[in-house]
Structure 1
Amino acid sequence: MTTGYDADLALLINGSWKLGEGRDLFPVVDPAKGETIAELPLASPADLDEALDAADKGFVLWRATPVEQRAAILHKAAALIRERADAIARLLTQEQGKPLVEAKGEVAGSAQLFDWCAEEASRIYGRVLVRPSGQRAMVLKQPVGPVAAFSPWNFPVYLMAKKLAPALAVGCSVIAKPPEETPGSCGALMRCLTDAGLPAGVAQMVHGVPDEVSRHLLGSPVIRKVSFTGSTPVGRHLMRLAADGLKRITMELGGHAPVLVFEDCDLDKTLDMVVPQKFRNAGQVCVSPTRFYVQAGIYERFVEGFAARTAQVKTGHGLEADTRMGPLANVRRPDAISALVEDAAAKGARVLAGGHRGNQGFFFQPTLLADVPDHADIMNNEPFGPVAVAAPFTTLDDAIAKANRLPYGLAAFAFTENMRQANLLGDAVESGMVGINTFAISVADAPFGGIKDSGFGSEGGIEGMESYLATKAIHTA
């Protein structure tokens, strides 16, 4: 296994890659070993001012660029992402910890986003309204302006692409603030855009202390739109900052996804689907299936089968070929997961698999807790880690009530062969996305977003494109 970390860590401002040069540095850590592997330069206030000025001027240039040229650059970027996929994926695994096969899938999905948005950009249609002869009334869709895009460390390449691709496609300029934990893979994505011919100033990438960067960018009148993916508390903070400038916002915030498993499901098939999905990216997924509510008649069989499969999940460094789950992404997470597991056990939960942290790095064992009461912390606070919690239910109404009991509403899942029941669940479960017998809910052509404390607005699909567009009516008499 070769673990050499080969990344050019820099800021991108107005087409120029900026290195250390006296800037503060942030340690980049391999979470599988807990060792520092590089140092990342952080943006100064002067850097942020330069990025804002570049984005302001870049917007004027980019919005006037014909859509065919914008699309051609995005298609070229997608091609370069695929060409460099292996190298980008290796950086992603070394920084974030996920198995290499998952990293490659994330990179491939990012290329798909750029291709899809490039095609959709030519279908941003307006309307012509009916008026008397000699008069015209038109409704146009125009790019909203420079965008501040904040993306997290759990899917750093894909979620950065999910903001860049639609914003650039419709004609906005962007200042991207990706996570400091995973700068190499994000920088490699941005280099694909610049190498594809994206003009200087159209897209910037800055790193820094999150609160300082967000206050600086959102305090500027240059920024017209804010897109954020992350925790609910940070989302509320950014909303307050954006309110002073009346900036448009899209918030994809935390979740605590319920999974309703009914007696009529194909149990073995369901288990074979849910266990790998639960431990994908070590459970660090905003839509990770976590609260498993299982109908009483199959409950014990379900948790026994889940525990047996969980015990077979091989953990290790993401670059090792047989690894099925890597470490948590940062040093804080194992202690946080341990506290949740201990609290649940103290309140009566059965630990049927895992339950302990690893011996090195930021590992935590794949874990299943059964009979978890509603008042356990983990039933109310998203673990964001490799822990599944299970409890029984009796009736359809009982299942829906359990699914809807929390203030979150990002994603929910259900497994049933009764299609009438499936239709009722789709209507009644309070969630921005519902997967029935599937976990495939994050795709380029579909909206992705939540309700309640999980945020508002969509990324992906035509709805995601719309969030970067302003509506203008033109009346001529």
Structure 2
Amino acid sequence: MLTQPDGLLKYLTDASSLRLPQGHFIDGEFRRSRSGRSMQSEDPGRGEAFADFARGDADDIADAVSSSRKGFAVWRRTPPADRGRVLNRTAELIRQNAERLAIAECLDSGKPIGEARGDVSGAARTFEYYAGACDKLEGQVFPLPSGYVGFSQHEPVGVTAHIIPWNFPISTAARGMAPALAAGCSVIAKPAEQTPFTALLLAELLAQAGLPAGVCNVVTGTGVEAGAPLVAHTGIDHVTFTGSVATGAHVMRACAENVTRSVMELGGKSPVVVLDDCDFDAAIANVTGAIFEHAGQICSAGSRLVIEAGIHDRFVETLAKKAAAISLGHGLRSPDMGPVNSAAQRDKILGFLDRARERGAEFLAGGLAATAAESGKGYFIEPTIVASRPQDDELVQEEIFGPVLTVQKADDADHALHLANCTRFGLVAGVFTRDFSRAHQLARDIDAGQVYINEYFAGGIEVPFGGNKQSGFGREKGLEGLKSYCKTKSIAARIG
């Protein structure tokens, strides 16, 4: 386990003791890119590079696919109980290496160290959960006429590609890789170029846990040079993608060329519906966390507050004060909120805010770029709340992916439902009310893949996750996520 004799802050100037890998993980070992090229990963809390990693391309992808096809031939024949033991050992190794993984995640993504530790813990739980599912994949017996027998069995889909986003690198890697491995598939992961390291470290831990060489490969690099050739490769049987609608559409077109299966999680513009009879303090705390955790860079962030008129004024006034009190700083310093992931992401968010000002939007809190007080560096955006905007406003309709909450004022619960469903997205939603019947009516009628009642982000790995409308299709997490990596074979026989 990693020791910290000098505390966390030593990694601000020297990340070498983390022993971060510099190569791809292919066929059970780290190796350089065939081209010999590398890239730098930037610490968004300082706006400075802190480590190098391999810059892969189609040649490296070809090596990974070849390795994965051989690995699949071995892994699919491995007894399910033995697969479960490997995943359980992986969960334990993640816990043993938790601090190293969390620090790497913090430096790579910018999120506060406490959030990174939570993500690592969740990754361990994910492997643990699917370890228990390996030997529970049971088929069905069909009620055929006398003289026939019919049954089904689940088979692994084959070589699976995983395009991992930069906002939750280890969490998203785990929620795709663990069920794929549990089902008997092999895995090729392509982490975002902004956050390459925890996927590589995870592959290393899987190998230490006994996963055969070739069953898990990781190729790092850009989306254009490594991601595109991966999803377009004829040796890929399934693609799991998490990212923007625009990029997801490109991935789907590539999958269509080879009729490759896919699961798409494409982001959201999720409403948090707060009714007059809510638990006021609990709703304030949850709305704050829903948008300002990881600086709002969460696909399921509660980025729209749909607030009933009776408590609107008091609620938004209280919320604005709470937002103004949020501390900003480098993730290793345990601030309330860390930076956004890159200069490009910061500038994209500021573009939304500048255009809103031009349209006359009222800012109740924040709205400007910032830097870390201790260093004057980093890519920060102030926690921002924008007063009630019309339904067709850009801040209501578009995913900003930053710490920006847009208010929508509702006349009553029926109007709140209409506003909740007013965008092209349908990932998640939150509902806050003491009226349990009304809560379930809203949960029934809101068009979203998941609805939280009286606690935003409620649930865990056991609960299926995925979107409707332009938030994508397919489900991850839970046993539904396991089914994504299985194909059903039906067998029928005449027996006399």
Q: TM-score range by the shorter chain?
A: over 0.9
- Counterparts of 1:450-465 in structure 2 under 5 Å? 450-465=467-482
2:476 corresponds to 1:468: no
Q: CA deviation at 1:122?
A: 1.2
Q: CA deviation at 1:37?
A: 1.0
* Matched residue SS, 1:272: helix
The correspondence for 2:111, drawn from 98, 104, 115, is 98
Distance 1:343 1:45, change over 3 A: closer
Question: 2:159·2:187 contact (CA, 8 Å) conserved in 1?
Answer: yes
Measure the CA separation in 1 of the matches of 2:242 and 2:221.
17
Which residue in the other structure is 2:337 paired with? Answer: 325
Question: 2:108·2:194 contact (CA, 8 Å) conserved in 1?
Answer: yes
Question: 2:138·2:154 contact (CA, 8 Å) conserved in 1?
Answer: yes
Which residue in the other structure is 2:179 paired with? Answer: 166
Measure the CA separation in 2 of the matches of 1:132 and 1:449.
39
- Counterparts of 1:194-273 in structure 2 under 5 Å? 194-273=207-286
Distance 1:289 1:240, change over 3 A: same
The correspondence for 1:354, drawn from 366, 371, 378, is 366
Q: CA deviation at 1:23?
A: 2.1
Measure the CA separation in 1 of the matches of 2:458 and 2:64.
34
* Matched residue SS, 1:227: strand
Deviations 1:72-121 (CA, angstroms, capped at 9, x unpaired): 00000000000100110001111110000000000000000001001012
* Matched residue SS, 1:277: helix
Matched AA of 1:473: S
The correspondence for 2:389, drawn from 372, 386, 410, is 372
Q: CA deviation at 1:315?
A: 0.6
* Matched residue SS, 1:33: coil
Deviations 1:306-364 (CA, angstroms, capped at 9, x unpaired): 0111111111000013x111100111122111121222233232211111101421111
- Counterparts of 1:43-58 in structure 2 under 5 Å? 43-58=56-71
Question: 1:148·1:226 contact (CA, 8 Å) conserved in 2?
Answer: yes
Question: 1:411·1:432 contact (CA, 8 Å) conserved in 2?
Answer: yes
Measure the CA separation in 2 of the matches of 1:21 and 1:251.
30
5+ unaligned residues in a row in structure 1: which ranges?
A: none
2:77 corresponds to 1:69: no
The correspondence for 2:98, drawn from 80, 85, 96, is 85
Measure the CA separation in 2 of the matches of 1:129 and 1:439.
41
The correspondence for 2:461, drawn from 444, 451, 454, is 444
- Aligned residues between the structures: 476
Measure the CA separation in 2 of the matches of 1:436 and 1:133.
49
Question: 2:192·2:222 contact (CA, 8 Å) conserved in 1?
Answer: no
Q: CA deviation at 1:145?
A: 0.7
Deviations 1:282-307 (CA, angstroms, capped at 9, x unpaired): 10000001110111111110111001
Measure the CA separation in 2 of the matches of 1:130 and 1:437.
43
Q: CA deviation at 1:9?
A: 2.4
Q: CA deviation at 1:442?
A: 5.3
Measure the CA separation in 1 of the matches of 2:235 and 2:347.
40
Ranges of 4+ aligned residues in structure 1 off by more than 6 Å: none
Which residue in the other structure is 2:414 paired with? Answer: 397
Instruction: Between 159-168 and 333-342, report the one with greater CA deviation.
Output: 333-342
The correspondence for 2:354, drawn from 342, 345, 349, is 342
Q: CA deviation at 1:441?
A: 4.1
Which residue in the other structure is 1:25 paired with? Answer: 38
Matched AA of 2:200: G
Give me the TM-score of the superposition, normalised by structure 1.
Answer: 0.97
Deviations 1:389-430 (CA, angstroms, capped at 9, x unpaired): 112111222111111111100011111111111111011101
Q: CA deviation at 1:268?
A: 1.8
Which residue in the other structure is 1:419 paired with? Answer: 436
Question: 1:56·1:146 contact (CA, 8 Å) conserved in 2?
Answer: yes
The correspondence for 1:429, drawn from 430, 446, 450, is 446
Deviations 1:234-267 (CA, angstroms, capped at 9, x unpaired): 1111111101111111001110001111000111
The correspondence for 2:380, drawn from 359, 363, 376, is 363
Deviations 1:9-57 (CA, angstroms, capped at 9, x unpaired): 2201111211367522222101011111122111232221111111111
Instruction: Between 241-250 and 334-343, report the one with greater CA deviation.
Output: 334-343
Question: 1:348·1:372 contact (CA, 8 Å) conserved in 2?
Answer: no
Question: 1:214·1:238 contact (CA, 8 Å) conserved in 2?
Answer: no
Deviations 1:142-181 (CA, angstroms, capped at 9, x unpaired): 1011101111010000000011000000100011111121
- CA RMSD of superposed structures (Å): 1.4
Measure the CA separation in 2 of the matches of 1:61 and 1:258.
45
Measure the CA separation in 2 of the matches of 1:280 and 1:9.
30
Which residue in the other structure is 2:6 paired with? Answer: none
* Matched residue SS, 1:175: strand
* Matched residue SS, 2:241: strand
Question: 2:443·2:451 contact (CA, 8 Å) conserved in 1?
Answer: yes
Measure the CA separation in 2 of the matches of 1:334 and 1:220.
33
Distance 1:395 1:104, change over 3 A: same
Percent same amino acid at aligned positions? 38
Instruction: Between 464-473 and 120-129, report the one with greater CA deviation.
Output: 120-129
Question: 1:432·1:451 contact (CA, 8 Å) conserved in 2?
Answer: yes
Q: CA deviation at 1:132?
A: 4.9
Question: 1:28·1:182 contact (CA, 8 Å) conserved in 2?
Answer: yes
2:132 corresponds to 1:119: yes
2:394 corresponds to 1:382: no
* Matched residue SS, 2:10: coil
Distance 1:36 1:396, change over 3 A: same
Measure the CA separation in 2 of the matches of 1:83 and 1:362.
31
Distance 1:217 1:276, change over 3 A: closer
Question: 1:40·1:180 contact (CA, 8 Å) conserved in 2?
Answer: no
